[in-house]
Amino acid sequence: MTTSTPLVRRCPICGKPRVEQHAPFCSSRCRDRDLMRWLDEGYAIPGPSTLGGEDDDREN
Ligand SMILES: [Zn+2]
């Protein structure tokens, strides 16, 4: 395990190396998760919201 890689930015959600396509996250999944977190802070959603499912590589 090499920890001397300052150039590698990590996804703030899961900690994996980020992908430029989804920067600063590693995938659209984490990007959506971060977005949901912001929305959840701004708007109190009553009841369980729709779960995203298990699509990893889903484009917008
Ligand atoms: Zn991630």
pLDDT digits (tens, 9 = 90+) for 15-49: 999 999 999 999 999 999 999 988 887 765 566 65
Phi (first) and psi of residue 10, to 5 degrees: -110, 150
pTM of the prediction?
0.53
Please check whether residue 59 lies inside any domain of the structure. no
Contact 29, 35 (CB under 8 A): no
Contact 56, 30 (CB under 8 A): no
**Separation of 41 CA from ligand 1 center, angstroms?**
20
**Total domains in the fold of the chain:** 1
User: Does 11 appear as a known binding residue?
Assistant: yes
| Distance separating alpha carbons of residues 55 and 45, to the nearest angstrom | 23
Q: Which domain holds residue 25?
A: 8-42
**Separation of 44 CA from ligand 1 center, angstroms?**
24
User: Does 45 appear as a known binding residue?
Assistant: no
Please check whether residue 18 lies inside any domain of the structure. yes
